[in-house]
Structure formats: structure tokens, C-alpha cells
Structure 1
Amino acid sequence: MKQRIKLLLLLSISLILITTIVTEPKNKIPENIKSEVDIALHHFPELEGISIEFKFKKNIKKSVMLAQPTWSGLLKPKNKRSYKILISEKFKISGAEFKTLDVPRDVLIGWIGHELGHVMDYQQRSNLNLIGFGIRYVLLKEFVKKAERAADSFAVSRGMSEYILKTKRFILNHSKIDEVYKARIKQYYLSPDEIMEMVKEQENSSLL
């Protein structure tokens, strides 16, 4: 009798979990950025079915946005992984404070596209490699450069060059943004000229 009750209880819990997994939406997107996220996601059909949660935070150190795998996702196969893209509500650089939602729409789409480029990079790595990625990103500046340029490259190769360029120009041409932060962007990310060169190469290869 006790075993039968335990079995029924186990079955009930299993059904609840299955129902939750099936009915829960793959992506969790705040309503106030849904249209921008949808535009960016449209450029990454490979990420369809991958669970990505977009979440606002009061502040993210040294970043406006941050893409990272969930801990539970690291225990699953690639096609079952889940990710979070954290978005700072505000960003402050050398006394100039901006609400992230107040930046031009295309700039916001470009920022989101860059983070989705990180997710694309993560999806090509094994779980063990992804853990090593996190360690190297924290410890090695040269690896940061490699990772950020890879994310830019993924976004550009998926047709987001105009959005990425607008994001770069917003940062590099904004008079109130500190030169130290601009130098970081120049050091670790693709430059506008490199992005344009990538676009030309894509156009030339498509003509062959």
C-alpha cells in the first residue's frame, strides 16, 4: 500500500514537471524590449528552440549587457542548454548616466545582437570547454578580446552589421562617454572599419 502511494506521488510530480516544461515559453522577454529582441533573434535562426531569458538588473559591472549560460544548462546537451542575457537598467560612464531603454532603438538591437553572438559562440562549445571559457575570460585579457570579437563576428555574419555599427558609433562618437571606456571598446571589439571589411568579404563571396 505504501509503495503504491509512493508510486502515485512520484507519477504526479513527474506529470507536473513535464507539463511545466512543455507549457513554459522557451524565451522570457520583458515586454518593453520584446520588439527589439524579436528583431535580433530573427537574425539567429540557429537559436530557435534554445531557452534564453532576458532580464533587467540594476547594474552590471563594466558592461551594459552580459550573456551567460545557466548552471543547470551546463549539465545538459547543447540543444537543451539555457542562457540568460542580463541587461543593466542604467549605465554610467565618467559621470554620464543613461537609461538603457533610452538609447536609440537600433543601438539597443545591436547590443542585443552582440550578446546573441556570444550565445552562438557558447552553443559551439562543449560543457567542459564552456566552463574553461568562463575561467579564461576572467583571467586573460587576450581571451576577452578573442571572445568579444567572435561575438561581433557572429552578429555581422548573420546580417546585423548595420545594427552593430550603430552601437559602435553611439559609443565611440558620444562626447560624454569617457575615453577610457572608448579605448576598451577599441581594444577588445571589432572596429567599424573591420566590420565594413567583413561585409565586403561576405558580398564578394556571395557573388562567386
Structure 2
Amino acid sequence: MKRKLKLLLLLSLSVFLVIIILKKPKNSIPESIEQEARIALGHFPELNGIPIEFKFKKNIKKSVMQAQPTWSGLLKPKNKRSYVILISEKFKISGEEFKTVDVPKDVLIGWLGHELGHVMDYQQRGNLNLIGFGIRYVLLKEFIKKAERAADSFAVSRGMSEYILKTKRFILDNSEIDETYKTRIKQYYLSPDEIMEMVKELDSIKGNG
């Protein structure tokens, strides 16, 4: 009896995995942020054909947005992966909740661009490396810093510096945004000055090219 149960569970798991692998994900963008998402995606031609779902979530701990590979994507070659970008429905300013979609357009584009920078980073990693990435991100603060700065760098190098800067300034210059969130931004992400320096370096490279 136990053997039959084990075989049944194994068969069920196998069928589940086959369904996940064969299921073809598609791009999905909520209408309320479609324009901003399309603008951000336009800066990442390398992601054309990569299924990305933009999905609202009631609450995301310690963040406003979060990019991650889908479980089915981890079972496929990286050129066939799919991703989801989770977006918190609301965030707090001075204890009051505001809808994320109500932030200035360029700020929202910058936020989305940063998350697409994460997707660019993920796309350069093998499946095992990506799983290790997730584990290190949860356990190591220094790795969080490395990952967030890499996402910023990808977005800036794709011509999104103005959007990223507006997002940073919206957070850091807003006296009513929670100081804990500001501290996290200062600790783990590129500063506005570092972004400007990076832009100068990129312009210099282009000028010499």
C-alpha cells in the first residue's frame, strides 16, 4: 500500500512538472501601469521575447517592488525563462497609505526600470547560480547591496539614468517617507552622485568610441 502511494505521488509530481514546463507564459501588464511599463521595457531590447508578468500584490516586505523568476522558469534553459515583477498596491508616507500607481509617472518608470535591471542580471545566470543568488540574497546583507547596485547599474547603462534619479530623489528628498525605507535605499543602492558619475563614464566611453 505504501509503495502504491509513493508511486502515485511520484506520478502526480511528474505530471505537475510536465504541465509547468510545457505551459507557455506570456507578458502580462495591468492596464493602470501599461504605459509606464512599456516605456521601461523599451530600454531593455535584450528582454524582447522574455515573458514578464507585472503583478500587483497587497504588501511586499521592505520594498515597493520585487522581481523574481517563476518556478517554471527555473526548470527551463535561461533563454526560455519567465519572470514576475511584484508591485505593492500601496506604500506609506507619514503613516498614511498611498497607491503606488499614483506616484509621478517618471518615478514609477524608474522603479520598474530598476526591477527590469534585476531581470537582466538574472538572465546572465545559470539555473543553479540563480537559485544560489536567492539563498545569498536572503542570508547576506553584502550580497543584497551587490545585487541592488547591479540592478541600478543595468538600468543606468540602458539609458534610464534620469528615471532612476527621479525615483531616488522622490524617496530620499521626501521628508515624510519612512526613515527605515530611506536608510535601506542609502545602504544598498547606488546614490544619486554615483549614478551621475556612472553617466559621465558612459558618456566618456561613447565619446571615445
Q: Which residue of 2 aligns with 1:115?
A: 115
Separation in 2, partners of 1:69, 1:178: 29
CA distance in 1, matches of 2:203, 2:91: 36
Name the Cα RMSD after superposition: 1.7
Aligned mates of 2:67, 2:93 — CA distance in 1: 21
Letter in 2 for 1:90: K
1:127 positional shift = 0.1
1:94 deviates by: 5.3
List alignment gaps of at least 5 residues for structure 1.
Answer: 1-16
Query: Counterparts of 1:93 and 1:175 in 2: how far apart (Å)?
Result: 9
Name the CA distance, whole Å, in 2 between partners of 1:94 and 1:172: 14
Structure 1 Cα separation of the partners of residues 67 and 168 of structure 2: 18
TM-score by length of 2: 0.87
TM-score, scaled relative to structure 1: 0.87
2:32 equivalent in structure 1: 32
Unaligned runs of 5+ in 2: 1-20
Aligned identity (percent) is 82
SS at match of 1:185: helix
Number of matched pairs = 189
2:175 aligned with 1:170, yes or no?
no
Q: Given that residues 96 and 176 in structure 1 are in contact (C-alpha distance below 8 angstroms), is that contact kept between their aligned partners in structure 2?
A: no
CA–CA distance in structure 1, aligned partners of residues 94 and 60 of structure 2: 15
Letter in 1 for 2:78: K
SS in structure 1 opposite 2:37? Answer: helix
Partner amino acid for 1:114?
A: H
Q: Secondary structure at the match of 2:159?
A: coil
**Are 1:127 and 2:127 an aligned pair?**
yes
- Partner in structure 2 of residue 90 of structure 1: 90
* 1:160 lines up with 2:160 in the alignment: yes
Residues 1:100 and 2:104 are matched in the alignment: no
Runs of 4+ deviating beyond 4 Å = none
What CA distance in whole angstroms lies between the structure 1 residues aligned with 2:50 and 2:155?
A: 17
- The letter of the residue matching 1:85 is I
8 A Cα contact 1:96 1:177, kept in partner: no
Q: What does the per-residue CA deviation read over 1:123-150, in whole Å, with 9 as the maximum and x for residues that have no partner?
A: 0000000000000000000000000000
Q: How does 1:39-54 map to 2 (within 5 A)?
A: 39-54=39-54
Q: What's the offset of the Cα at 1:92?
A: 2.1
In the alignment, structure 1 residue 199 sits paired with structure 2 residue 199:
yes
**What CA distance in whole angstroms lies between the structure 2 residues aligned with 1:190 and 1:155?**
11
Shift of 1:182: 1.0
Tell me by how many angstroms 1:178 deviates: 2.1
d(CA) in 2 for partners of 1:156, 1:130: 22
